[in-house]
């Protein structure tokens, strides 16, 4: 049985500026011939206990009212320089409650898959809200809360902020706190966007352009991975499918490999980036190696506590001479990462538009790699409940992914998970397995 909590339509709003990245994504969304679509950010919680459904919905709504980005949408189709932020009192976080208690076996698995795919559906940025939630009920005291937010207004780094907010608001509401006081806005992503546009008109942007120009030359903005693709094009009438390669690695082995590196201290990100680029060189034979990686851009106290799409991409490029060992290769990567850190705040879309004014150069020339290294946020502590993080992601989220999404994520105190999401109609799964196995071997030095 499925029920949806009824919501009032928003009535008040204010116009807000978009960030450079938002504008670029909106152009892609509004372009009928765009090569790319943007799946939402999907995450969630496993909850055991006597959950008050109304209370969790009220808490989520309060969180949305406290952060302007969660109340923003883009109703003026084709306009990319601004969005509309709803007044706090007019927004609700919709929660769909799905009762699965009577299902078992294949029927339960099929229902869960349907729910996951529905949660992952693309948002229409011209319609509000750009947030959704599912609450699956498996038993009298077993629940899964799945949350999805459009990437136009939310990034992976915002999950930790949202969990902290949910913990605070839920606790206060459960104790009878004043909901109107809790719902006061505490962060405005549009202010970050306005400041970003101002900075890009000054000398810092000019310095960044001079730094990135030679790095982008010939490979930017999307450096082709060069890995073998399927020899035969898929049936044009066939629906693209996604897949996820995944392997757990012992954290102790990764830390031992890092501490034993002959090139000195390296960060987990540098270690992962070097492993990916080293494996790429082994698979392709190329000395010039490049990938994209995510940068949080949360460099200030204000940004640290903000919900919004602050995460951006940076291009990492190294030239490795034939026969270069892994330690020497890692030193090259470390130097490139450190050099880029001084210019990592410059938006990727700004570089793309400025360094490559010809729009034909904005599309990828082939599948590329995006690397993300992260630790999952801690689950919020909800009074009276046992809560764990959950990631209700189905491989189908990568069905239209024209890149390789490589991720190294700390799973718990003893393990990390190395994964690669990809479109299986572009790559033979054996090629991805060969590539990622090489990455894993470099990470733990076997």
For 376, phi then psi, to 5°, come to -65, 145
Identify the residue with better confidence: 235 or 359: 359
> CA-CA distance, 56 to 145, in Å (whole number)?
10
Task: Summarize pLDDT for 26-71 with one digit per residue, the tens.
Answer: 988 888 766 667 789 999 999 999 999 999 999 999 999 999 999 9
Look at the domain 2-193 and name its fold. Answer: Chloramphenicol Acetyltransferase (3.30.559)
For 44, phi then psi, to 5°, come to 180, -170
Joined together, the tokens standing for residue 342 give 């001084």
Q: Which 3 state secondary structure label does DSSP give 261? A: coil
What average pLDDT does the segment 290-312 reach? 89
For the cut 80, the answer to whether the pLDDT of residue 2 exceeds it is no
Q: What value does the mean pLDDT of the chain take?
A: 90
Task: Summarize pLDDT for 203-223 with one digit per residue, the tens.
Answer: 989 999 999 999 999 999 999
DSSP for 111-157, please give it: HHHHHHHHHTPPP-TTSS-SEEEEEEEEETTEEEEEEEE-TTS--TT
Alpha helices in 356-428 (DSSP H): none
Nearest one of 69, 28, 61 to 192, comparing CA atoms:
69
Element (H, E) at 337: helix 326-341
Per-residue pLDDT band at 7 (split at 50, 70, 90): very low
What's the burial of 239, exposed, middle or buried (CB within 10 Å: 0-12/13-18/19+)? exposed
Question: pLDDT value at position 234?
Answer: 56
What Cα–Cα distance (Å) separates residue 312 from each residue in 151, 238, 317, 339? 11, 33, 17, 17
For the cut 90, the answer to whether the pLDDT of residue 286 exceeds it is yes
DSSP for 44-101, please give it: EEEEES---HHHHHHHHHHHHHHBGGGGEE--STT--SEEEEE-GGG----EEEEE-T
Task: Summarize pLDDT for 218-228 with one digit per residue, the tens.
Answer: 999 999 999 99
| Pairing, β 368-374 against β 288-295 | parallel
Q: Which residue has the tokens 């799964």?
A: 429
> CA-CA distance, 156 to 393, in Å (whole number)?
14
Same fold, 2-193 and 208-376+393-444: yes
Domain extent listing, the chain: 2-193, 208-376+393-444
> CA-CA distance, 174 to 165, in Å (whole number)?
14
**241 close to 399: Cβ distance less than 8 angstroms:** yes
Nearest one of 151, 28, 20 to 78, comparing CA atoms:
28
Task: Summarize pLDDT for 378-395 with one digit per residue, the tens.
Answer: 999 999 999 999 877 778
> CA-CA distance, 33 to 26, in Å (whole number)?
13
What average pLDDT does the segment 309-330 reach? 93
- Give the bridge partners for 83, in sequence order: 16
- Tell me the CATH number of domain 208-376+393-444, given options 3.30.559.30, 2.40.30.30, 3.40.140.80, 3.40.640.10: 3.30.559.30
Task: Summarize pLDDT for 112-136 with one digit per residue, the tens.
Answer: 989 988 999 999 999 999 999 999 9
């Amino acid at each position: 049985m499925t029920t949806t909590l009824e919501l009032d339509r928003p009535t008040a709003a204010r116009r807000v500026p978009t960030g450079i990245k938002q504008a670029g994504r909106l152009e892609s969304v509004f372009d009928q011939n765009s090569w790319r679509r943007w799946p939402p950010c999907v995450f969630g919680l496993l909850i055991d206990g006597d959950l008050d459904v109304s209370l969790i919905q009220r808490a989520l709504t309060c969180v949305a009212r406290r952060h302007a980005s969660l109340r923003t949408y883009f109703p003026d189709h084709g306009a990319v320089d601004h969005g509309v932020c709803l007044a706090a009192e007019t927004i609700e976080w919709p929660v769909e409650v799905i009762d699965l208690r009577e299902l078992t076996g294949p029927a339960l698995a099929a229902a869960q898959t349907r729910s996951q795919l529905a949660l992952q559906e693309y948002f229409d940025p011209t319609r509000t809200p750009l947030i959704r939630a599912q609450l699956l009920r498996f038993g009298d005291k077993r629940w899964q809360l799945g949350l999805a937010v459009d990437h136009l207004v939310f990034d992976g780094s915002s999950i930790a902020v949202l969990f902290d907010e949910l913990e605070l608001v839920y606790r206060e509401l459960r104790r009878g706190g004043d909901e109107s006081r809790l719902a006061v806005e505490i962060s405005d992503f549009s202010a970050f966007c306005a400041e970003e546009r101002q900075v890009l008109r000054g000398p810092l942007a000019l310095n960044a352009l001079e730094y990135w120009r030679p790095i982008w030359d010939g490979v930017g903005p999307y450096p082709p991975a060069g890995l073998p693709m399927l020899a035969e094009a898929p049936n044009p009438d066939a629906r693209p499918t996604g897949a996820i390669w995944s392997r757990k690695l012992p954290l102790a082995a990764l830390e031992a490999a890092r501490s034993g590196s002959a090139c000195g201290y390296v960060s987990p990100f540098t270690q992962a980036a070097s492993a990916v680029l080293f494996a790429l060189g082994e698979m392709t034979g190329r000395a010039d190696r490049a990938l994209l990686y995510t940068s949080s851009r949360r460099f200030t106290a204000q940004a640290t506590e903000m919900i919004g799409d602050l995460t951006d991409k940076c291009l990492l490029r190294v030239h490795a001479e034939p026969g270069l060992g892994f330690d020497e290769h890692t030193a090259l990567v470390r130097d490139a990462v450190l050099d880029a850190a001084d210019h990592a705040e410059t938006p990727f879309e700004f570089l793309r538009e400025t360094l490559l004014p010809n729009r034909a150069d904005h599309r990828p020339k082939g599948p590329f790699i995006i690397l993300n290294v992260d630790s999952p946020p801690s689950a919020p502590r909800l009074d009276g409940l046992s809560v764990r993080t959950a990631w209700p992601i189905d491989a189908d989220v990568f069905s239209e992914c024209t890149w390789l999404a490589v991720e190294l994520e700390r799973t718990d105190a003893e393990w990390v998970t190395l994964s690669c999401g990809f479109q299986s109609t572009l790559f033979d799964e054996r090629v991805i397995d060969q590539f990622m196995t090489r990455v894993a071997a470099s990470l733990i030095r076997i």
